[in-house]
Amino acid sequence: MPDKNHNTDTPKDMQPDNNEEFERYRRQMHGQEDQGDTRPQTGRIMRLLFTILMVIVYIGMGILLLINFFGWDTTYAWPRYTVGCVLIVYGIWRAYRHYAGIDSRL
C-alpha cells in the first residue's frame, strides 16, 4: 500500500519531504519570489494602467452624461441621469476593487 504522504507521480528527489532537493528545484523553477523580490512585473503595471484608464473613462463618461455634454433632447433626461450615475458608481467601485485588491483574486 503506498504511503499517503508521498505523491507517486513525482520523482523521489522532488518530493517535499526531501527539503533540500525540493527547495533547490523550487528556486530553479520559480526564482526567489518569496525573498523580497520587489521588481515591478509587467502584468501588474499593465493591470494598473488599464484600471486607471477605465476608471477615468467610466467616471468621465458619467459626468459628461450628467452635464448633457452631447446636447441630447430633454426627453432623454431620465436615461441620461440614470446611466450617468451608474457609470460614476461603477467607476468608483472599480477603483475601490483595485485599491482593496479584490480584482487581483478574481
Grid cell listed for 41: 512585473
Lowest mean pLDDT segment, chosen from 27-36, 40-49, 52-61, 76-85: 27-36
Distant-in-sequence, close-in-space partners of 98: CB < 8 Å, separation ≥ 6? 47, 48, 51, 55, 104
Same domain, 26 and 62: no
Same domain, 31 and 58: no
pLDDT of residue 34: 53
Same domain, 55 and 88: yes
Same domain, 55 and 25: no
The residue with greater pLDDT, 12 or 24, is 24
Same domain, 2 and 26: yes
How many domains would you assign to the chain?
2
DSSP state of 104: G
Residue 17: CA atoms inside 13 Å, Cβ hemisphere, count?
9
pLDDT of residue 41: 80
Asked whether the beta carbons of 80 and 68 are under 8 A apart, the reply is yes
